[in-house]
Amino acid sequence: MPEARGRKSIFITGAASGIGAETARLFANRGWFIGLYDINETGLADMQEEIGPDNCITGNLDVRDRKQWHAAVASFADATEKRMNVLFNNAGIAETGWFEDIRPEMADAIVDINLKGVINGVYACLPLLKETAGARIVNTASSAGLAGTPRLSVYSATKFAVRGLTESLNLELADEDIYVTSLTPWFIDTPILDSGAVAGANRSGKDSLLDNGVPVYPVSMAAERAWEAAHGRATHYLVGKAAQRMSFASRFLPGSVRKRLRKSLPKRGLQN
């Protein structure tokens, strides 16, 4: 089994692609030992080969399953001498569409992965985090958690909840020397952008956003902000200028945000 051997360690969910994978690359390049966890076993194997088998440990983890969480954390603990410097609760899914067009089963999955998965992770990892001086929890939220986002309603609700959970846990765990932060990205160039793409269409979710003048930021920007979230003293780390503008406007100009979001909506029955 690979071992941390004194290196700082980070446990990453959703590590096989997107923000999780890019964050794993960045932390590994800076000398950290990486725990890579996902349901995508092929992606995990690719990441293990890229980072190097001596620099990481991998495991299949459905964040909805508490038993899988405890098994994953136990193997991570064996590799790190029961230490965990950072828990990166990053796994998430989305589906774009009118509320009534999102299947209830899909809505359940979004809540279970995006919110309950984060809660499960905190429960499972707290013992290791408490054993590690200056430990961190970084939860991936979203700019959709800054203002209610139509056609992403359930996803938006989960990300509001993640931000609230982050703020409350940051206060609650302060006396345990555990700092809790969130990563709050705007649209990032990852596979999740195609959650609302039309099957068989030649245009990706990213293409549709860019066609409508919506910025899409590189995944490397999110990884750099994840590094800052693991080391800085802010509670929320926004990714991209558009996220910063949304944060400001949602606090001080909420009416203009609602008006802009309503104006951006397509008519029902029409695809973006």
Q: Which residues are catalytic?
A: 155
Burial code of 21-51, b = ≥16 C-beta within 10 A, e = fewer? bbbbbbbbeeebbbbbbbbeeebbeebbeeb
Q: Which long-range contacts (CB under 8 A, 24 or more apart) does 195-203 make?
A: 195/93, 195/94, 195/95, 195/96, 196/94, 196/95, 196/96, 196/97, 196/151, 196/272, 198/271
Run of H or E residues at 50: helix 41-51
Q: Give the separation between CA 43 and CA 89, rounded to whole angstroms.
A: 18
The answer to whether residues 181 and 138 touch, using CB atoms and an 8 Å cutoff, is yes
Q: Which residues contact residue 120 at a Cβ distance below 8 angstroms, ignoring those fewer than 6 apart? A: 63, 64, 65, 66, 69
Are 94 and 190 contacting, i.e. CB atoms less than 8 angstroms apart?
no
Torsion 188-219-126-170 (CA) sign = negative
Residue with tokens 């930021």: 217
Tell me how far apart the alpha carbons of residues 154 and 157 are, in angstroms, rounded to a whole number. 5
Residue among 202, 247, 196, 240 nearest 218 (CA): 240
What are the two backbone dihedrals, phi and then psi, of residue 17, each rounded to the nearest 5 degrees? -160, 175
Task: Output the six-digit token pair for 92.
Answer: 């998430």
